[in-house]
Structure 1
């Protein structure tokens, strides 16, 4: 809708077969993306948040309950099992992963706190989305550049 190039951190951070890449290998790619004039980046990696925040006009923080997130992850696992999502690195098929489910279930405890610390000082850029209908309303309120 906004005609912005979009990037997914999962595509940078993972390689085929769910092998996590070393940050020193993918961070230069992210730095090049962030230096470009226009972009949307999907992902919540706290270690690169400051890099992205320095150039971001807006941060969209999806603030859904753990129960809703777990339900959506389970639905995604079931409906896309064995296939690789377009926002994922190649050859990383959807699968059941207890560790990832635990991460989602406990996200509000530790990972969220790291993200909130990283966002400190950038509150004026943060838009909190708290319901599934809010993104549609927000996008409808925007006009393409």
Structure 2
């Protein structure tokens, strides 16, 4: 686990989580939101609509900017062209879930099979049925597999450049295995819940 001792894990209000699909970042984001009593904003949930309609690029920044200005949040998902520097600069902690590519490919294959069989529901409810019916991003979706297979080569240099631009390397923790993810999660103190946690509406 790549970590920095200057990160105060007892006072976390803004957390950015990045990493490849299938690595477990969204699961970690949900667990942290519950443990820290922080609002969770999943960018896939925000930007994707019924029947796999994606929010136009020019409308994505205006949607995300007010969220970044809030005092508390966990923002999950990459969208490297959408205010990534601003997210990094505003974060108390940046978590890079960086599991091996083979593991991510295995996980998305397993997930696609379970979703098609209507066993697992990791997509927003409004597009879950479209996924089942149209088999979008299923085991036959070569483009999605290519995205995952080339993720490290394409996105990691951009992450590194953005960390430098935002002067945020000292905020970064990189988790490279399920064991490291568990160890990190267990090291985070639980924040008492004073009010119901409100996440971005679906």
Q: What is the aligned partner in structure 2 of residue 107 from structure 1?
A: 151
* Alignment coverage as a number of residue pairs: 145
Select which of 96, 105, 109 maps to 1:61. Answer: 96
Q: What is the aligned partner in structure 1 of residue 64 from structure 2?
A: 30
Instruction: Tell me which structure has the larger Cα radius of gyration.
Output: 2
* Kept after mapping to 2: 8 A contact 1:14/1:21: yes
* Kept after mapping to 1: 8 A contact 2:137/2:144: no
Task: State the alpha-carbon separation in 1 of the partners of residues 170 and 190 from structure 2.
Answer: 21
Runs of 5+ unmatched residues, structure 2:
1-34, 192-202
Runs of 5+ unmatched residues, structure 1:
none
1:98 Cα shift? 1.4
Q: What is the aligned partner in structure 2 of residue 122 from structure 1?
A: 168
- The structure with higher relative contact order (CA 8 Å, sep 6+) is 2
User: CA RMSD, aligned part only?
Assistant: 2.0
Select which of 91, 116, 135 maps to 2:127. Answer: 91
> Is 1:79 matched up with 2:114?
yes
Residues 52/10 of structure 1: CA separation in 2 closer, same or farther (3 Å cut): same
Could you tell me the TM-score, scaled by structure 2's length? 0.65
**Per-residue deviation, residues 4-62 of structure 1 (Å, max 9, x unmatched):** 11111111222211122113323222111111111001111211211211210001101
Task: State the alpha-carbon separation in 1 of the partners of residues 169 and 75 from structure 2.
Answer: 18
SS in 1 for 2:61: helix
Residues 65/7 of structure 1: CA separation in 2 closer, same or farther (3 Å cut): same
Could you tell me the TM-score, scaled by structure 1's length? 0.89
